[in-house]
Amino acid sequence: MKILKMLVIVIFILQLGYLVKTPAEELTFAWDPVPDTNIAGYRIFQAERQGNVSSTWVMVGETTNTT
């Protein structure tokens, strides 16, 4: 099951590269937990040629949030 999730993530990253209008100089895939919560997820950071950086959440599996 973990291999399937990672395969979905890799395919998503590859598709993201094709869908971006401005060519990205760098795509970074990182685990990004939220402090003081049990929320965490993967985030794709996209660095563009103009120096801008944008990010996109990639939700894999189920997430929970208890308050």
Strand, helix or coil for residue 67: coil
Provide the whole-model pTM.
Answer: 0.34
End-to-end CA distance of the chain: 29
Domain ranges of the chain: 2-58
pLDDT digits (tens, 9 = 90+) for 7-65: 777 777 666 655 555 555 666 777 766 667 666 666 766 666 665 666 555 555 555 55
Q: What is the pLDDT at residue 54?
A: 62
